[in-house]
Amino acid sequence: MSMSPIKIQSKSDQVVSQIIDMILEGKLKPGDRLPVEDALAKNFGVSRVTIREAFKNLSLMGLVDIRQGDGTFVKTISPDFYMRPLLPMMILNPQNMDQLYDARRAVECGAARSAALYRTSDDLNKLKYYQEQMQKYFHSFSKISKEQYTSADEGFHCALIEASHNFYFSKIFETIYSILITGIKKTSRTHVGRKASIVEHAKIIEAIEKQDADLAESCMSEHLINAKKFYFDELNNEIDNENNEENDVNE
């Protein structure tokens, strides 16, 4: 059995760990300026070189912003910051996208149920507004109208998450949104997919307006199962078209 020797954590890594803990615990908030190197070195009982190395590592991790002559500040980190490096892997691997759609369904079905229970009149008006925008741009086939339709579709799903009034649904949705949008845009390309979304969104709105949590969850589940199917149908069509074009070139 092969084993690696245990390494003692460096002083700069220990400083990094403690600062990260303070950020996670809310003791250091976005926009806060960290103490100067001399003060931190004294507090941690290390050299200024160690503090400088810790700042450098925190900056590389995207947690702080080092401003020359001004200081080091805690950055505002959006959840998708940590997901961005995973985008190529998620998009290029169909199995990953399949699992992502299942995760999306779990989040949005729960959000739809909560929205039915806790929505306000303003929440309902937002959902209806985006639904009207989708209907407005549905029949147009111009590139601009398709983009506006997709934007309204995105707005609907974001508004539904907001209507859930659940902090954790919101944060989880934000985390995977940058990947979800790839599937939403792909689904919105087809006339059939756009038409289905409008009909299904209307059912979701009706259930939320009636405050029928079971029905809202069921309608959202049906909608996202169909969205997943449209996504993979469109993906397979793209692959077939690319293969046909390649065969034509080879011939």
How far apart CA 231 and CA 171 sit, in angstroms, is: 24
Contact predicate 173/111, CB 8 Å: yes
How far apart CA 9 and CA 25 sit, in angstroms, is: 22
* pLDDT tens per residue across span 183-214: 566 555 567 778 889 999 999 999 999 999 99
Contacts of 159 (CB under 8 A, 6+ apart): 123, 126, 127, 130
Q: Which domains does the chain have, with CATH numbers?
A: 11-74 (1.10.10.10), 82-237 (1.20.120.530)
* pLDDT tens per residue across span 37-88: 999 999 999 999 999 999 998 988 788 999 988 999 999 876 556 655 665 5
At how many degrees (to 10) do helices 191-209 and 121-138 cross? 160
